[in-house]
Amino acid sequence: MDRMNIVDHVRREKTSLLDELNSLCDDQNRSLRIDEIFMKIEEIKKLVHQYAPTMIAYDIQTEGKDIVIDTLNNCQVRIYGVPSSLRLISLTNCRIYTGPIQTSAYVEKCDECRFEIIAQQIRIHDTKKCDFYLHVKSRIIIENSFGLRFAPYQWSYERLDDDFQRANIDRNVNNYKCIDDFDCVQNPSPNWSLIPLE
């Protein structure tokens, strides 16, 4: 189903559900139907996530904020400016690009994604088959994850140098190779590798 078909389908479903709710007079029937509608909404969400939009958050929206991105499929997200922190949860086949994060970035339950992140600290949990292009001040922590690959940060935008300064992150210090796997005592861990530099 392409994007326009999905949008049309969602509009038809919404109109149909609203008409039905308006016609129900009995509170008990209405309550039961609302539960069914919530289940229908979850089905519609799955349809909406089938196509890959690009979402952009600009500095005025992100400055000093705690950013949470949860449950996306096949999306690209670009975050400009200097957010306070970043949480990425339950992402599948997404591409996430960020400017410098003032404190920490937390990645959880992600699958087959590409991340370009600058942060003071990065923690990765319950994540598999993802590529991380990072600029990080401290050591990276991974836990209950596998198939992770790491390389230096590559994304660039016009005010990136200024954002590095505002986040108090040194451009000359990047610990993207310093990875602690809490599930593996051997070094290097079999759960991660470095992406060859061209």
- Whether residues 22 and 59 share a domain: the answer is no
Is the pTM value of this prediction over 0.75? no
Same domain, 19 and 65: no
Q: Among all chains, which residue has been given the structure tokens 């960020």?
A: 98
Residues 17 and 59 in one domain: no
Alpha-carbon dihedral sign for residues 48, 49, 54, 55: positive
Neighbours of 44 (CB within 10 A): 15
For residue 24, the model assigns a pLDDT of 64
- Tell me, yes or no, whether 84 and 122 share the same domain: yes
- 106 with 59, same domain: the answer is yes
Same domain, 109 and 44: no
* 59/143 same-domain check: yes
pLDDT in tens, the chain (198 residues): 445 555 566 667 667 766 766 676 666 666 676 667 666 666 655 555 445 577 888 777 888 899 999 999 999 999 999 999 999 999 999 999 999 999 999 999 999 999 999 999 999 999 999 999 999 999 999 999 999 999 999 999 989 999 999 999 999 999 999 999 998 877 778 999 999 987
Q: Tell me how far CA of residue 128 lies from CA of 28, 97, 173, 198, in angstroms.
A: 45, 18, 27, 24
| 68 and 152 assigned to the same domain | yes
Which of 12, 30, 48 finishes a domain? 48
Same domain, 127 and 158: yes
Rg (CA), the chain: 21
DSSP code, position 122: E
Kindly give the interhelix angle for 27-48 and 3-23, rounded to the nearest 10 degrees: 180
- In this structure, the answer to whether residues 104 and 61 fall within a common structural domain is yes
Domain count, the chain: 2
Do 41 and 113 fall into the same domain? no
Q: 46 Cβ partners below 8 Å, 6+ apart?
A: none
What CATH number has the domain bearing residue 109?
A: 2.160.20.70
Write out the residue range of the structural domain in which residue 21 sits.
3-48
What integer pLDDT is reported at residue 57 of this predicted model?
Answer: 80
**Residue 81 in tokens:** 């400016």
Residues 19 and 67 in one domain: no
